[in-house]
Amino acid sequence: MRFRAPAHHAGVTSRIGTWLGIAFGLCFLTGLISHGVQHDWPWPARPAGLYRVTQGVHVLSGVASIPLLLAKLWSVYPKLFERPPVRNVPHALERGSILVLVAAAFFELVTGLFNAAQNYPWPFYFPTAHYAVAWIVTGALLVHIAVKIPVIRRSLEPASDERTILSRRAFLRTTALTAGVAVVTTAGVTVPWLRKVSVLAWRSDGALPVNRTAKAANVVVPPDWRLKAGGKTYSLAELRAMPQTTVELPIACVEGWSQNATWTGVRVADLVSGGDVRVESLEKDGLYRASTLPEVFARDPLTLLALRLDGEELSPDHGYPCRLIAPNRPGVLQTKWVTSLEIL
Ligand SMILES: Nc1nc2c(c(=O)[nH]1)N[C@H]1C(S)=C(S)[C@@H](COP(=O)(O)O)O[C@H]1N2
Ligand SMILES: [Mo]
């Protein structure tokens, strides 16, 4: 029998495969939630911080998957270069499905990482491509698991030789540790108490990040600015004179960062009521210039047209003169520079 390095043993591959399967499963489900929330699938307004948690899990399970996928490939790599490359039709199908799985999985992890860094060095629209390929990964993964169940079963039986067991364990431990370190060093983007140890976390200096500045969005507030809401118009002074509510709510960006802040302003329910609300901004043609606020959100007492952030008047970059802030909603739908709220 040919010698096999412990890392290349089927037992190691199966275990790492199981971890990777769990990470991908979590990533897929939370990604599906995020897609649904942005495409008018039913989604509740409470608990207020739920989306922050699901999107945090999405980004961190993706981060954990990177070292897990690399370790998994390392553990099977002698097989990837097997000769002859194709033995028969079932073998060709199996290898083909693995090729699709690996390519699609890499595509998801790499595009996800670039998106988190707000870097888009490709011609396609990230959300559509990332969403479509997620289904390819999931489909190919289910086929792969179904095909491999007998191998997985056999390989998870205890090994007999003590030395092999120890070196396999060492490889598994290193893999788990690497995945853990990857998560802990980035989790500060969304988990406040990890901010200090998250040396690789992007956007974790404690201040509320700005995703699109007023300048980038080409927003200029005209001197005669008025809010149109429910068939009436309001000046900023009139909005300030209305009953004010203060809430603590996060911005949970789809790109992975999230951060709590204290918002003060007028309840949306005091301005419009009786249906889903279209929120329009001063922005002329950005992708996120407007959003739809489903009725359950519009009548929630936590949903505000905010005029103040952390006790100060909103800065231009955070949405002056007023911006939407609602519970349990992705950052991309928390429209800044609002000009009108109209019932659809
Ligand atoms: N009009 C408008 N509103 C917008 C955006 C935008 O591009 N245009 N970006 C959104 C995104 S992606 C996020 S994460 C939040 C960020 O809010 P902040 O910049 O105040 O932190 O604003 C949202 N509101
Ligand atoms: Mo965002």
Note the pLDDT tens digit of each residue in 169-190: 999 999 999 999 999 989 988 8
Gyration radius of the chain's alpha carbons: 25
Distance CA 256, CA 254 (A): 5
The residue from 141, 169, 194 where one domain ends is: 194
Same domain, 146 and 281: no
Same domain, 108 and 248: no
**Nearest alpha carbon, ligand 1 atom 4:** 335
- Rounded distance from Cα 91 to ligand 2 centre (Å): 44
Same domain, 232 and 169: no
**Nearest alpha carbon, ligand 1 atom 11:** 332
Same domain, 90 and 41: yes
Mean pLDDT computed over 79-101? 89
Mean pLDDT computed over 122-146? 95
Same domain, 338 and 274: yes
Q: Which two tokens stand for residue 24?
A: 């991908």
Same domain, 142 and 27: yes
| 2 pLDDT more than 70 | no
**Nearest alpha carbon, ligand 1 atom 15:** 331
Residues ≥6 apart with Cβ < 8 Å to 309: 208, 261, 262, 263, 264, 315, 318
231 or 1: which leads in pLDDT: 231
Same domain, 75 and 156: yes
| 4 pLDDT more than 70 | no
- Rounded distance from Cα 141 to ligand 2 centre (Å): 29
Would 52 be classed as within a structural domain? yes
Same domain, 122 and 34: yes
- Characterize 252-268 residue by residue with b for buried, 16 or more Cβ atoms within 10 angstroms of its Cβ, and e for exposed: bbbbbbbbebebbbbbb
Q: Which domain holds residue 323?
A: 227-343
What residues pair up with 277 in beta bridges, in sequence order? 293, 343
| 3 pLDDT more than 60 | no
Provide the pLDDT for residue 166. Answer: 78
Same domain, 30 and 178: yes
Mean pLDDT computed over 110-132? 91
**Predicted model pTM:** 0.93
Q: What is the tally of structural domains in the chain?
A: 2
249-259 per-position pLDDT tens digit = 999 999 889 99
Q: Which residue has the tokens 């911080």?
A: 49
Mean predicted lDDT score pLDDT of the chain: 92
**CATH code (residue 250):** 3.90.420.10
Same domain, 87 and 132: yes
Distances (CA, A) of 11 to 17, 153, 156: 10, 9, 5
Would 288 be classed as within a structural domain? yes
- Rounded distance from Cα 92 to ligand 2 centre (Å): 42
Would 204 be classed as within a structural domain? no
Would 216 be classed as within a structural domain? no
| 64 pLDDT more than 60 | yes
Terminal Cα-to-Cα distance of the chain (whole angstroms): 72
Nearest ligand to the C-alpha of residue 335?
1
Which atom belonging to ligand 1 lies closest to the Cα atom of 336?
A: 3
Distance CA 97, CA 5 (A): 26
| 61 pLDDT more than 50 | yes
Same domain, 123 and 168: yes
| 161 pLDDT more than 70 | yes
Mean pLDDT computed over 13-42? 96
The residue from 194, 214, 245 where one domain ends is: 194
Q: Which stretch of DSSP H or E encloses residue 266?
A: strand 258-267
- Rounded distance from Cα 147 to ligand 2 centre (Å): 39
Would 222 be classed as within a structural domain? no
Query: Which of 254, 282, 288 to probe ligand 1 with, by most ligand atoms within 8 A of CB?
Result: 288
Are 230 and 343 contacting, i.e. CB atoms less than 8 angstroms apart? yes
Provide the pLDDT for residue 314. Answer: 97
**CATH code (residue 144):** 1.20.950
| 211 pLDDT more than 50 | yes
Provide the pLDDT for residue 207. Answer: 81
Would 145 be classed as within a structural domain? yes
153 or 321: which leads in pLDDT: 321
Mean pLDDT computed over 20-33? 98
The residue from 179, 194, 209 where one domain ends is: 194
Report the percent of the chain where pLDDT is more than 70. Answer: 96
What residues pair up with 323 in beta bridges, in sequence order? 306
Residues with CB under 6 A from ligand 1: 208-212, 217, 251, 253, 281, 283, 286, 288-289, 318-319, 331-332, 334-337
Would 94 be classed as within a structural domain? yes
Same domain, 19 and 164: yes
Give the distance from CA 228 to its chain's centroid.
Answer: 33
| 1 pLDDT more than 50 | no
Burial of 296 (0-12, 13-18, 19+ CB in 10 A): middle
Provide the pLDDT for residue 14. Answer: 92
- Rounded distance from Cα 255 to ligand 2 centre (Å): 6
Position 204 confidence tier, pLDDT thresholds 50, 70, 90: low
Would 218 be classed as within a structural domain? no
Distances (CA, A) of 266 to 19, 27, 291: 47, 36, 18
